[in-house]
Amino acid sequence: MIVGTAGHIDHGKTALVRALTGVDTDRLQEEKQRGISIDLGFAYLPAGEGQIIGFVDVPGHDRFVHNMLAGATGIDFVLLVVAADDGVMPQTAEHLSIVDLLGIERGVVAVTKCDLVDAGRLAEVKTQIANVLLPTALADAEIVPVSSVTGEGIDALRQLLFKAAQGAGSRTAKGRFRLAVDRSFILPGAGTVVTGTVLSGMVAIGDRVTVSPSGLSARVRSIHAQNRPSETGRAGDRCALNLTGEGISKDAIARGDVVLDPELHAPADRIDATLRVLPGEPRPIAQWMPVRLHHAASETGARVVLLADEPLAPGSQGYVQLVLDRPIAAAAGDRFVLRDTSAQRTIGGGRFLDLRAPARKRRTPERFGQLEAHAVADPERALLQLLDRAPGYADLTVFALDRALAPAEVEAIVARNSLVRIGTAKSTLVLSPAQWLKLKRSLLAVLEKYHAENPDLAGIGFERLRLQLEPRLPAPAFAAMLQGLQRTKDVALDGAWVKLPSHEVRLSPQDEVLWNRIRPLISGGERFRPPRVRDIAGLLAVPEANVRKLFKLLSRIGRVDEVAQDHFFLRGTVAEMVDIATDLAAKGEGGQFTAAQLRDRLDNGRKVAIQILEFFDRHGVTLRRGDLRRINRHRLDLFRRPAAADETLGSGREASPVGRPDFKSGKGRETVLSGFDSHSLPPISRKATR
C-alpha cells in the first residue's frame, strides 16, 4: 500500500512520517536548513506478513503544490495531517480538494501537536476537520490525535495503517505496464535509475520499455520494489528501475515522463475529459481558458475547450476538451487536476475519456453519446456501450491500448460478448453480434436490389456499396469484411465489383438482337480491322449512339475491348493479337519487333497496327523504345487466355470498371485485369512489383 501525506505547511507531516518509520524524508540540504519540505520524500514501513507500506511525503507550502501533485498520483491511502494548534488551514483545504479530485477514497486524519493544546481545543479542531471532510469521499475517515514529540497516538496510528494495508489487498496487474516517473538520477556502479509508482501492469528484469513521450527505448537492468530488490514490479508498488539503452541518461528522463510497455507509446495532446469545477472557484470556466494541467507526475500548459453551450459554473461538472501545449503519456480513465496559470489555486479536476479527441465535430449528439460510453470506468461495459452508439463499431486496437488493457483481457471481453472482429493491417474493428447481423443483411439486400435494377452490370462498385450501408465501415475494414464474406460464399468479388454469387450479367433481349447483327462485322476475316462505331451504325442503319452504348456495355461485361476511340475488338481477337506480338518478339533480334512487322502479320494497315500497339503500351504488355517494342511477360496474363475460350459471357476475364458511373478507384485497390477501354490506365501487376 502507498500512503501519501497531505496538509498545510509546518503541520508536522515529515515529523510524523519519521515517527512512524524512523526515516527522515527531507533529503535536500535546503529542506534541512529551512525546516520545510520542498520536494517529495519517501519512506517505507514493514507491515508484517511480507507487506511493506510506502510513504510519499509531500510539501505543504502553497508554492510547492505542483510537487505535492506529482506525489499524490498513484497513492492508495491518504494521511491528512492537521496541526491541533492551527486547525484547518488553506493548504489543508486545497490538498483535501486535490485528494478528492484524484478519486482517493481511503484515508485517515492525524491531528498532530496534540500535546500543545487542551481537550477543548482538540475537540474544536476535530469538529472543523469533520466539517471539511463531509462533502468528500473521506467523510467517514478516522481522526487520530498524535504527537511526534511525546509519541502519543503514534502506535495507534501505525496499527490503523497496518489494518488498512491488510484490508487493501494488492492491485491487479492485468493491464500493460506504466510507471509515472517522479525522480531520475545516476547511481554509481549502476547508471540511470528512475523511481515512481507503477500505475498498471507488471515489469520484470530484462523487459524492453519505452520512455514516453520522448520515445526513448530502454531495457530494465534491475528493480527495487517497495525498497527491496525484486525480480518484478507490479501495479501499486513504488519502484526504482535501473534502465539502460542508447540515449538513456539522467537528463534524458525527467519527472512527468512515463516508463511503459512499448505498445502504449502514443503521446496525446488533445484529450476529451470530464471536468468538475471546485465550488470555491470565483468564476465559471470560459471557452479556451488557459490552465496548468497536472497528470501523474507531469505538468503542462493547456487550454479548456467547452463542449457545452454555456460556461462551466463553480461546483458543476461537464465534458471538456483539453488542448495541451505539449504531448503527455496518459491512459483513458486517468485522473487529472487543473490549476490556474499563476499556480495560486486549484480550479478542478476529472478523468480523461478519449485520448484521440477530434478537432472537428466535437459537439455533435453522436459525439456526446460516445463520451457517455467512454465515461464508464469498467472497460467491458464501456466497450459495449460504444458499440451501441454511432458509428456502430469501435477500433478494438485503439480502445485496448488507450485503456492499457493486456491482450488476455481483450480476448476475454470479446469471447464473453461474442463480438465480431474485422482485422486490417493497422487495426481491428469490432461490432456487436446484432450490428454485424444488421450490416450483413443490409449488404445482401442492397446487392439483391441492385442486381434486379441493373441485370446488365457485373456488380456494384466497392465504394458505392460501402456508402449505402450502416454502420459505414472505413474502406480498409469494409474490404476485409467483403473478403470474409467471399470466403463464406455470401458474396462474390469480380474485380472492383461486388455481387451475389448467383448473379450473372445478361443483355436485354433488344441488346442481344443488335449484338447478333454486329458480331459478324467484327469477327472472322475482318477481326483484325473491325469497322468503327459510325461505320457499323451506317451499315446496319442503327443510330450511332445505340451502337456506342451497346459496345460500352459489352466492354464492361467482358466481350470486347476498346482499343482506340470508338474502335472495338472482340476479346478473343485481342488475345490472338497478343499471341502474334509475342511470337514476333520471340523470333525478332533481341526479343524486339516493329509496328511494320505486326501490320504485316495482321494485314490491317499501319494506322490500326499503331493503335493496337499503343493500346498494349498503355497496359504494359509491350515496352517501347524508339520504333522497337518488346514484350513484358509479367503482363501477358492481362489478355491471354485458354485457346478454348470464346466470346461468350464468363470467358474468364473480368470487366474493366473504367467509365462505370459508380466507379471509384479507392486507394490501395487495383484496376481489374481486363476489359479495358482506350482511355483506361494499366492495372498494377502483382508480379511486376515483386
What is the per-residue pLDDT for 57?
A: 81
3-state helix/strand/coil string of 141-192 = CEEEECCCCCCCCHHHHHHHHHHHHHHHCCCCCCCCCEEEEEEEEEECCCEE
Contact by Cβ (8 Å): 108, 161: yes
Q: Nearest to residue 180, comparing CAs of 267, 69, 293, 260? A: 260
Strand order in the sheet with 420-423: 394-395, 428-431, 420-423
What is the per-residue pLDDT for 677?
A: 40
Q: Nearest to residue 454, comparing CAs of 501, 491, 507, 502? A: 507
What is the per-residue pLDDT for 556?
A: 76
Please state, as a whole number, how many other Cβ atoms lie within 10 Å of the Cβ of residue 525.
Answer: 7
Q: Is 531 buried (19+), middle (13-18) or exposed (0-12) by CB count in 10 A?
A: middle
Q: Nearest to residue 294, comparing CAs of 41, 38, 4, 72? A: 72
- The rounded distance, in Å, linking the Cα atoms of 609 and 521 is 19
- The rounded distance, in Å, linking the Cα atoms of 620 and 688 is 10
Amino acid at 467: L
Contact by Cβ (8 Å): 168, 159: no
Contact by Cβ (8 Å): 262, 199: no
Amino acid at 362: R
- The rounded distance, in Å, linking the Cα atoms of 597 and 603 is 10
The answer on pLDDT for 486 being more than 70 is yes
Domains of the chain, each with CATH number or no CATH = 2-168 (3.40.50.300), 178-264 (2.40.30.10), 268-363 (2.40.30.10), 367-431 (1.10.10), 434-499 (1.10.10.10), 518-638 (1.10.10.10)
* Whole-number CA gyration radius for the chain: 37
Length of the chain: 690
Q: 213 preceded by cis ω (within 30°)? A: yes
How many angstroms separate the Cα of 640 from the Cα of each of 486, 519, 581, 591, 633?
26, 21, 11, 19, 11
pLDDT per residue as tens digits for the range 624-664: 999 999 999 888 877 764 333 333 323 333 333 333 333 33
Helix, strand, coil abundance in the chain, percent, nearest 5: 35, 25, 40
The answer on pLDDT for 681 being more than 70 is no
What is the per-residue pLDDT for 169?
A: 57
- The rounded distance, in Å, linking the Cα atoms of 35 and 60 is 12
What is the pLDDT confidence band of residue 16, given thresholds at 50, 70 and 90? very high
- The rounded distance, in Å, linking the Cα atoms of 460 and 465 is 6
Comparison of pLDDT for 109 and 654, the residue scoring more: 109
3-class secondary-structure state, position 73 = coil
Q: Tell me the pTM.
A: 0.76
- The rounded distance, in Å, linking the Cα atoms of 473 and 677 is 31
What residues have CB less than 8 Å from 362, skipping those under 6 apart? 272, 305, 307, 321
What is the pLDDT confidence band of residue 666, given thresholds at 50, 70 and 90? very low
- The rounded distance, in Å, linking the Cα atoms of 127 and 196 is 36
**C-alpha cell recorded at residue 35:** 525546516
- The rounded distance, in Å, linking the Cα atoms of 562 and 23 is 89
pLDDT per residue as tens digits for the range 288-347: 999 999 999 899 999 999 999 889 999 999 999 999 999 999 999 999 999 999 888 999
> Mean per-residue pLDDT for 502-517?
89
pLDDT per residue as tens digits for the range 458-476: 889 899 999 999 999 999 9
Distance of CA 446 to the CA centre of its chain: 31
- The rounded distance, in Å, linking the Cα atoms of 69 and 80 is 14
How does the average pLDDT of the chain come out, rounded? 87
Cα dihedral 396, 470, 416, 168 sign: positive
What is the per-residue pLDDT for 433?
A: 97
Cα dihedral 577, 583, 589, 592 sign: positive
- The rounded distance, in Å, linking the Cα atoms of 488 and 486 is 5
Pick from 56-65, 352-361, 581-590: least confident: 56-65
Q: Nearest to residue 349, comparing CAs of 95, 159, 44, 37? A: 95
Please state, as a whole number, how many other Cβ atoms lie within 10 Å of the Cβ of residue 120.
Answer: 8
What is the per-residue pLDDT for 501?
A: 94
What is the pLDDT confidence band of residue 29, given thresholds at 50, 70 and 90? low
3-class secondary-structure state, position 457 = coil
Q: What is the distance between the terminal CA atoms of the chain, rounded to a whole angstrom?
A: 58
> Mean per-residue pLDDT for 136-152?
94
Q: Provide φ and ψ at 161, rounded to 5°.
A: -65, -40
Please state, as a whole number, how many other Cβ atoms lie within 10 Å of the Cβ of residue 337.
Answer: 24
Please state, as a whole number, how many other Cβ atoms lie within 10 Å of the Cβ of residue 581.
Answer: 25
What is the per-residue pLDDT for 657?
A: 34
3-state helix/strand/coil string of 324-341 = EEEEECCCCCCEEEEECC
What is the per-residue pLDDT for 529?
A: 94
What is the pLDDT confidence band of residue 286, given thresholds at 50, 70 and 90? very high
Query: Interior CA angle at 558 toward 555 and 561, to 5°?
Result: 45
- Of 165-169, 234-238, 386-390, the range with the highest mean pLDDT is 386-390
Amino acid at 399: F
What is the per-residue pLDDT for 63?
A: 58
> Mean per-residue pLDDT for 549-563?
88
What is the per-residue pLDDT for 38?
A: 53
Q: Nearest to residue 88, comparing CAs of 33, 32, 143? A: 143
Distance of CA 18 to the CA centre of its chain: 46
Query: Which DSSP letter does residue 556 get?
Result: H
What is the per-residue pLDDT for 12?
A: 87
The answer on pLDDT for 509 being more than 50 is yes
> Mean per-residue pLDDT for 90-101?
90
pLDDT per residue as tens digits for the range 30-72: 544 545 455 677 888 988 777 888 888 877 555 556 777 776 7
- The rounded distance, in Å, linking the Cα atoms of 360 and 307 is 11
Comparison of pLDDT for 403 and 173, the residue scoring more: 403
- The rounded distance, in Å, linking the Cα atoms of 528 and 548 is 19
Comparison of pLDDT for 646 and 398, the residue scoring more: 398
Q: 471 preceded by cis ω (within 30°)? A: yes
Q: Nearest to residue 345, comparing CAs of 135, 59, 5, 65? A: 65
Contact by Cβ (8 Å): 266, 395: no
3-class secondary-structure state, position 304 = strand
Contact by Cβ (8 Å): 6, 78: yes
